[in-house]
Amino acid sequence: MKKKNKKINASILIIGNEILSGRTQDLNVSFISKWLNLKCGISVKEVRVIPDIEKTIVSNISDLSKRFNYVFTTGGIGPTHDDITAKSIAKAFNVKYEYHKEAYLILEKYYGKAKFNDGRKKMSKMPRGASLIHNPSSAAPGFKIKNILCLPGVPSILKSMIDNCKKFLIKGQVTKNKSINLITVESNIAKELAKIQKKYFKHVEIGSYPFFRLGKIGVSIVLRSTNKNKIKLCNTDILKIVRRKKIKIFKS
């Protein structure tokens, strides 16, 4: 991983008609987001789900690559006719779409020359200048070009590959979390939380999430920040309100 920087962000672009149709449930967004934050200190700021349409992929890649430090794509790099992600990314950057020599040799060795058909050869075609993201599960590599990291859509394969993305990334500051679970309703603390958020808006993000657990209605207050001390101070202010309002803390 490259030299650490303070604030690094990313977006995730999920590509696939099967996601939009509801046929396949996406499991990659949560995994990638957690991995980026906890392992790399990179915050995911936007997620998009788009169909396997070249024009749509090209326009989204062109837009997101300009707005974020990194863009992670999933899906559309397999052997079939609708796997057009690599070709579309090549078009977005106006570079040639061609066989990647190293990827070709990896796949030829994996399948054997006799079984290395046109569909499998297609998985070694990438934008010119791409670097490989190696795949320990099924050999077919992903790739990185400019600030785009292109991964498969199959969750188990993506998970096996994700650590091989680290060498391409600049590490940022890891966001820390602190949760306070209260037996109350959001409206009972909304006004006070708004004041505290205003006080700490530069340093701490405060989230409020209702829950129903063990027959209890409550609210989880989640504090997020790269500054551990600011989280501690914010937590202290919230606990003062909890005591003043005589709100019980939920303990599971």
Question: Are residues 94 and 161 both part of a single domain?
Answer: yes
pLDDT for the residue 6:
74
Q: Which residues constitute the domain of residue 119?
A: 8-168
Question: Are residues 152 and 202 both part of a single domain?
Answer: no
pLDDT for the residue 155:
97
Q: Which two tokens stand for residue 69?
A: 């430090």
CB 31 within 8 A of CB 198: no
DSSP class of 252 = -
Mean pLDDT, residues 87-116: 98
Question: Are residues 154 and 234 both part of a single domain?
Answer: no
Q: Give the 3-state secondary structure of 50-63.
A: ECCCHHHHHHHHHH
pLDDT for the residue 5:
63
Split at pLDDT 50, 70, 90, the class of 165 is: very high
pLDDT for the residue 80:
95
Domain closes at, from 148, 168, 188: 168
Question: Are residues 90 and 151 both part of a single domain?
Answer: yes
Q: Which two tokens stand for residue 234?
A: 């914010």
Residue 150 lies in a domain: yes
pLDDT reading at 203 higher than 80: yes
Question: Are residues 35 and 154 both part of a single domain?
Answer: yes
The mean pLDDT of the chain is 95
Residue 3 lies in a domain: no
Quick one: which of 177, 175, 176, 189 has its CA closest to 218? 189
| 220 sits in which H/E element | strand 216-225
* Residue 10 to residue 43: CA distance in whole angstroms: 6
Domains in the chain: how many in total?
Answer: 2
Quick one: which of 102, 106, 105, 78 has its CA closest to 17? 78
Question: Are residues 133 and 163 both part of a single domain?
Answer: yes
Mean pLDDT, residues 35-47: 95
Question: Are residues 27 and 138 both part of a single domain?
Answer: yes
The number of beta carbons lying within 10 Å of the beta carbon of residue 127 is: 25
pTM as predicted: 0.88
For the domain that residue 214 is a member of, what is the CATH number?
3.30.310
Residue 2 lies in a domain: no
pLDDT reading at 157 higher than 90: yes
pLDDT reading at 245 higher than 80: yes
pLDDT for the residue 7:
85
The predicted-structure confidence for 118-131, as pLDDT tens digits, reads as follows 999 999 999 999 99
Mean pLDDT, residues 221-237: 95
Mean pLDDT, residues 244-251: 94
85 contacts: CB under 8 Å, gap ≥ 6: 15, 52, 57, 73, 75, 76, 77, 150
Domain closes at, from 168, 195, 222: 168
Task: State the burial class of residue 151 (Cβ atoms within 10 Å of its Cβ: 0-12, 13-18, 19+).
Answer: buried
Classify strands 216-225 and 176-183 as parallel, antiparallel or unpaired: antiparallel
pLDDT for the residue 1:
75
